[in-house]
């Protein structure tokens, strides 16, 4: 690319075409003050990266004497610019004085304090007392939420909050309201934030240069001296953030504005859900159950008790009488150590992890796991979202989808029986009856092939089994698919035509697909559809937890060693033998099989790390009974969860902000986790506990620290080979660009041979008049997983504290419900109580219940039934009836 020569402050410098004066100055290390510019507020295809709202960045053209805003003026050949001439400084001072004239003189009591950029620039320019007449402004707006407080008397109309909401998060909850001196950013009709489309992501608060937008209930109001860059511990998006620390406590989380992937955004969980770390319910000492009550003991005593119990069970019943259940919330290093502990110390492949609850990794279905999803989504010309609501389960992916549609005019197809937020952005919404996704996806494939919308010759070369697949589709009756799914053939054809025209399609699927009855077949149908794009489509599983991708990569699976290498393959085991010694050859049990084995007396001892089975799995009664049949149960966690209360020994673990390590996001980014505060009491990182336990059992693992673990991962795990973990530890980042901004580093994509195959239609439950409704279960922004962490985050818990069930207007009228009443949901497995809320979008006969902080509410409605192939429990839909409480019982 040809460069442009510009004279900047008397020195010739080189810039690229399309670069603004402000960007050129940043490149050359020259700071130009600005209050409205933000590098990520540049919509793809926009004419300019900024709007010049604040005018502080004015510079002087030495050739013409003209003053111009650096953020909106592109460089041209031969241009001569002065960034700090006397005229420029004078104008900047005047602009600041005008801003201060309509700004309250309340710096000493402002929540923004020393973090106020207006105050900082005023000090730099020497602006103190002003002689201009003050313009009074409207003060505080009343918002009832615990996240964001607005004081628009301090607003300088920089538009950062508006642009962040509209261009980054793409919600449009706020815009300019009124004009002239009365103009302010506001919701529609100047209503409270909680009555708007606001998701409380906190991006506007992080970008606001003044005290106009601040945290509503901050843990600390001032600036801090210690900030630590780390990774959000919630969903699989892997958002970078900075934790601010004061007196050994986390007081604030802010997005990493330099991260090119997250683009300076977080969600409400990332911004306001970190304080579970300091919950008074944290475990601080090892506990041993003595005669039905827990007693605190030393680490030496606790480890000795566990080692003796596991050693005795192994000697008496054999290695396969023991089982280990790991966590997708633990780091890569901890998962690697845990599976090695299971295989080389205990001698069993009975090892699984929490991602089993939602289907595991794409490789388990024979799908490739490409990397770079968040980048690919924004570059896609078509996005297909199936069985997922990324706006709640993986918000950063949701932002990327909305930006692709809004800014790049990508086409969006949504497959979901429920009207999610993405439906408003969709070109085509396919609304199948719950549980019929496999038939619908196969119908799309049939239309693509039989109507000549794909290049069959090219497609046949991309995978095996195509002939049998074509025969399967030939026998598929579209009219029957219409009857089964409720989606018309016309809409199916419309979606197929959109898909066929795409050059860069991206497919996202979530728990709504693989947790339903027949989930494996539905994912297989999705894989067939992806392969019909001739290798152009990228498929991403929106895995729920922060390290679901990494936990599976590290081998916490019963049938795979690290790197998805089959444990039954003798050659594979031989390649690990030089490092680990002899390995058990028989694939182990999944967690569901472990529980059944425990109930049947085949599993005698179990080690659960970072997971709450009773809070996350269906059929709590069965799980409680199964765990009660064990001779010995050890639970290692942050809190005394329902599962931990059943243990003989409870080991206190460190939280995400209290340890080092790495997470791998759902799109393959390897993200650094750094310690910001000390663990409470005597709690320890999971990796250190595992090493202590291995040593106590007489089989010490050969690692002095995490560096040795990472070096072995880089040698043995193909997808992580050559990532340079040792260098990452030295600099505190996985990698860095020349400018010092973090560069995303991705695991390598394992090779998977695509295979076309027939799809079996699942056997759905028969219609039972006793249970006339289909209840769908899904995610919400304000609660996560079992709630062990989000329900202990003060502001999340305060804003979202009740169990709710959404009922369509027609069904509500028939039941005599108006909203706000308590109802009883009754299923064959059990019942639960929730607050009824009326929805204008749910189809007749379908209910929706988001996960709630009320533990085990929805789980009581499910039996422990699971996919016969992947052993993933069915937890997405169940047949129920609705009974009013305190009135006539109706269904």
**Is the predicted pLDDT of residue 589 greater than 90, yes or no?**
yes
**Is the predicted pLDDT of residue 876 greater than 70, yes or no?**
yes
22 in a structural domain: yes
Confidence of residue 733 (pLDDT cuts 50, 70, 90): very low
> CATH number, domain at 12?
3.10.20.740
Structural domain of 808 = 773-884
Confidence of residue 732 (pLDDT cuts 50, 70, 90): very low
**Is the predicted pLDDT of residue 262 greater than 90, yes or no?**
no
426 in a structural domain: yes
pLDDT of residue 737: 34
Strands (E), 90-238: 148-150, 175-177, 184-186, 213-215, 226-231
Question: Which H helix or E strand runs over 254?
Answer: strand 249-255
> CATH number, domain at 863?
2.40.40.20
Same-domain status, 520 and 554: no
B/e letters for 364-380, b = 16+ CB within 10 Å, e = fewer, are bbebbbbbbbbbbbbeb
Same-domain status, 381 and 430: yes
| Mean pLDDT within 797-805 | 85
Confidence of residue 738 (pLDDT cuts 50, 70, 90): very low
CB 576 within 8 A of CB 568: no
Torsion of CA 23, 24, 27, 33, to 10 degrees: -60
Distance in angstroms (rounded) separating the CA atoms of residues 12 and 80: 9
| Mean pLDDT within 193-214 | 95
Distance in angstroms (rounded) separating the CA atoms of residues 332 and 719: 13
**Is the predicted pLDDT of residue 1 greater than 70, yes or no?**
no
Same-domain status, 259 and 152: yes
600 in a structural domain: yes
Residue 684 DSSP code: B
Q: In the numeric block, which tokens belong to residue 817?
A: 């419900």
CA 540 to chain centre: 13
pLDDT of residue 367: 67
Same-domain status, 383 and 353: no
Tens of pLDDT, residue by residue over 154-163, are 999 999 999 9
> CATH number, domain at 372?
3.40.228.10
B/e letters for 582-621, b = 16+ CB within 10 Å, e = fewer, are ebbeeebbbbbbbbbbbbeebbbbbbbbbbbbbbbbbbbe
| Residue that has been written with the tokens 């937020």 in this structure | 421
| 357: nearest Cα among 553, 525, 510, 564 | 510
Global pTM reads 0.93
**Is the predicted pLDDT of residue 271 greater than 80, yes or no?**
yes
Distance in angstroms (rounded) separating the CA atoms of residues 119 and 177: 26
89 in a structural domain: no
> CATH number, domain at 221?
3.30.70.20
pLDDT of residue 45: 47
679 in a structural domain: yes
Bridging pattern class, strands 877-884 and 822-826 = antiparallel
Contacts of 861 (CB under 8 A, 6+ apart): 618, 775, 825, 827, 829, 830, 831, 832, 878, 880
Q: What percent of the chain has pLDDT over 70?
A: 93
B/e letters for 152-163, b = 16+ CB within 10 Å, e = fewer, are bbbbbbbbbbbb
Same-domain status, 384 and 464: yes
736 in a structural domain: no
Same-domain status, 630 and 596: yes
Question: How many other CB atoms are found less than 10 A from the CB of residue 74?
Answer: 17
pLDDT of residue 888: 55
* Lowest-confidence segment of 250-264, 581-595, 872-886 by average pLDDT: 872-886
Same-domain status, 511 and 380: yes
| Mean pLDDT within 183-208 | 93
Contacts of 712 (CB under 8 A, 6+ apart): 336, 579, 703
**Is the predicted pLDDT of residue 138 greater than 70, yes or no?**
no
| Mean pLDDT within 516-540 | 87
CB 444 within 8 A of CB 495: yes
**Is the predicted pLDDT of residue 123 greater than 90, yes or no?**
yes
Distance in angstroms (rounded) separating the CA atoms of residues 542 and 516: 15
| Mean pLDDT within 533-554 | 89
CA 268 to chain centre: 11
| 562: nearest Cα among 351, 370, 871, 869 | 351
Tens of pLDDT, residue by residue over 440-495, are 999 999 999 999 999 888 888 777 888 999 999 999 999 999 999 999 999 999 99
Same-domain status, 378 and 298: no
Which alpha helices (H) appear in 655-793, and where do they start and end?
A: 686-696, 706-716, 725-731
* Lowest-confidence segment of 74-78, 88-92, 700-704, 745-749 by average pLDDT: 745-749
Using the Cα atoms of residue 574, residue 575, residue 577 and residue 583 in order, give the sign of their dihedral: negative
Mean pLDDT, the chain, whole residue set: 90
**Is the predicted pLDDT of residue 739 greater than 60, yes or no?**
no
Distance in angstroms (rounded) separating the CA atoms of residues 491 and 489: 5
Among residues 84, 104, 123, the one where a domain terminates is 84
| Mean pLDDT within 833-845 | 93
Phi, psi of 188 (to 5 degrees): -60, 125
Same-domain status, 189 and 266: yes
Same-domain status, 578 and 478: no
What counts of helices (H) and strands (E) characterise the chain? 28, 34
**Is the predicted pLDDT of residue 395 greater than 80, yes or no?**
yes
Tens of pLDDT, residue by residue over 15-42, are 999 899 999 999 999 999 999 999 888 6
* Lowest-confidence segment of 222-231, 567-576, 627-636, 793-802 by average pLDDT: 793-802
113 in a structural domain: no
Tens of pLDDT, residue by residue over 764-777, are 777 889 999 999 99
Tens of pLDDT, residue by residue over 225-254, are 899 999 999 999 999 999 999 999 999 999
pLDDT of residue 518: 79
pLDDT of residue 363: 61
118 in a structural domain: no
Question: Which H helix or E strand runs over 526?
Answer: helix 519-531
Tens of pLDDT, residue by residue over 297-341, are 999 999 999 999 999 999 999 999 999 999 999 999 999 999 999
Domain count, the chain: 5
Adjacent-strand bridge partners of 429: 414
Between the two ends of the chain, the Cα-to-Cα distance in Å is: 69
**Is the predicted pLDDT of residue 358 greater than 90, yes or no?**
no
**Is the predicted pLDDT of residue 822 greater than 80, yes or no?**
yes
Same-domain status, 483 and 611: no
Same-domain status, 172 and 262: yes
Among residues 541, 573, 604, the one where a domain terminates is 541
Among residues 521, 541, 561, the one where a domain terminates is 541
* Lowest-confidence segment of 201-210, 469-478, 797-806 by average pLDDT: 797-806
């Amino acid at each position: 690319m040809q460069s442009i020569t510009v004279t900047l402050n008397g020195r010739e410098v080189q810039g690229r075409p399309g670069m603004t004066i402000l960007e050129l100055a940043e490149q050359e290390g020259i700071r130009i003050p600005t209050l409205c510019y933000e590098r990520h507020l540049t919509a793809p295809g926009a004419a300019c990266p900024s709007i010049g709202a604040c005018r502080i960045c004015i510079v002087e053209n030495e050739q013409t004497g003209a003053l111009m805003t650096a953020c909106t003026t592109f460089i041209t050949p031969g241009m001569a610019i002065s960034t700090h001439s006397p005229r420029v400084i004078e104008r900047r001072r005047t602009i600041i004085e005008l801003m201060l004239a309509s700004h309250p003189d309340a710096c000493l009591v402002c929540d923004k304090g020393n973090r106020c950029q207006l105050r900082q620039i005023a000090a730099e320019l020497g602006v103190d007392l002003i002689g201009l007449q003050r313009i009074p402004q409207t003060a505080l707006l009343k918002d009832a939420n615990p996240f964001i407080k607005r004081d628009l008397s301090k607003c300088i109309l920089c538009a950062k909050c508006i642009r962040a909401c509209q261009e980054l998060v793409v919600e449009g909850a706020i815009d300019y309201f009124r004009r002239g001196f009365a103009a302010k950013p506001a919701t529609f009709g100047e209503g409270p934030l909680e009555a708007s489309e606001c998701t409380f992501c906190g991006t506007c608060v992080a970008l606001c240069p003044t005290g106009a937008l601040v945290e509503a209930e901050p843990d600390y109001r001032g600036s801090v001296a210690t900030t630590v860059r780390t990774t959000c511990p919630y969903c699989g998006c892997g958002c970078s953030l900075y934790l601010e620390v004061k007196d050994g406590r986390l007081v604030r989380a802010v997005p990493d504005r330099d991260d090119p992937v997250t683009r300076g955004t977080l969600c409400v969980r990332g911004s306001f859900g970190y304080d579970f770390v300091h919950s008074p319910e944290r475990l601080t000492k090892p506990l041993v159950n003595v005669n039905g009550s827990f007693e605190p003991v030393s680490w030496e005593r606790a480890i000795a008790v566990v080692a003796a119990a596991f050693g005795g069970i192994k000697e008496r019943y054999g290695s396969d009488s023991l089982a280990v259940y790991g966590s997708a919330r633990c780091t890569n290093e901890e998962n690697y150590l845990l599976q090695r502990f299971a295989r080389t110390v205990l001698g069993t492949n009975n090892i699984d992890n929490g991602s089993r609850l939602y289907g595991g990794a794409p490789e388990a279905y024979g799908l490739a796991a490409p990397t770079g999803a968040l980048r690919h989504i924004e570059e896609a010309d078509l996005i297909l979202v199936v069985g997922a609501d990324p706006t709640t389960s993986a918000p950063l992916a949701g932002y990327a989808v909305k930006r692709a549609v809004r800014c790049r005019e990508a086409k969006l197809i949504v497959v979901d029986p429920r009207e999610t937020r993405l439906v408003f952005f969709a070109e085509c919404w396919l609304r199948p009856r719950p549980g019929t996704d496999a038939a619908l996806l196969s119908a799309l494939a049939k239309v693509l092939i039989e109507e000549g919308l794909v290049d069959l010759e090219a497609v046949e070369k991309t995978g095996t089994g195509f002939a049998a697949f074509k025969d399967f589709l030939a026998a598929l009756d579209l009219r029957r698919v219409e009857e089964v799914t409720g989606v018309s053939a016309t809409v199916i054809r419309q979606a197929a035509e959109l898909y066929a025209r795409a050059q860069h399609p991206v497919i996202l699927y979530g728990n709504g697909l693989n947790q339903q009855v027949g989930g494996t077949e539905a994912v297989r149908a999705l894989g067939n559809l992806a392969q019909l794009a001739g290798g152009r489509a990228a498929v991403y599983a929106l895995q729920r937890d922060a390290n679901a991708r990494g936990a599976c990569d590290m081998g916490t699976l019963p049938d795979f060693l690290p790197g998805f290498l089959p444990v039954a393959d003798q050659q594979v085991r031989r390649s690990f033998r030089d490092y680990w010694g002899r390995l058990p050859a028989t694939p182990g049990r999944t967690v569901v099989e472990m529980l059944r084995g425990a109930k049947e007396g085949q599993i005698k001892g179990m080690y659960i790390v970072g997971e709450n089975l009773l809070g996350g799995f269906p059929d709590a009664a069965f799980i409680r009974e199964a765990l009660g049949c064990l001779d010995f149960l050890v639970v290692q966690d942050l809190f005394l969860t329902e599962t931990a209360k059943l243990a003989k020994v409870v080991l206190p673990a460190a939280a995400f902000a209290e340890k080092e390590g790495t997470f791998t996001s759902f799109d393959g980014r390897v993200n650094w986790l750094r310690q910001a505060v000390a663990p409470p009491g005597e709690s320890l990182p999971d990796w250190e506990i595992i090493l202590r336990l291995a040593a106590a059992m007489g089989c010490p693992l050969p690692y002095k620290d995490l560096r040795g673990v990472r070096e072995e991962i880089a040698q043995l795990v193909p997808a992580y080979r050559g990532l340079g973990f040792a260098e990452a530890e030295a600099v505190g980042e996985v990698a860095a660009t020349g400018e010092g901004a973090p560069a995303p580093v991705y695991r390598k994509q394992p090779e998977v041979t695509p295979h076309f195959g027939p799809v079996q239609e699942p056997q759905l439950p028969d219609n039972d008049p006793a249970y006339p409704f289909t209840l769908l279960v899904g995610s919400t922004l304000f609660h996560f997983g079992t709630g062990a962490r989000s329900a202990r985050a003060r502001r999340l818990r305060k804003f979202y504290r009740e169990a709710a069930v959404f009922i369509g207007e027609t069904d509500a009228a028939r039941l005599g419900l108006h909203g706000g009443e308590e109802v009883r949901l009754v299923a064959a497995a059990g019942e639960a109580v929730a607050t009824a809320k009326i929805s204008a979008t749910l189809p007749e006969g379908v209910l929706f219940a988001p996960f709630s902080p009320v533990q085990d509410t929805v789980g009581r409605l499910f039996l422990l039934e699971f996919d016969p192939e992947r052993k993933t429990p069915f937890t997405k839909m169940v047949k129920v009836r609705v009974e009013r409480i305190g009135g006539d019982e109706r269904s």
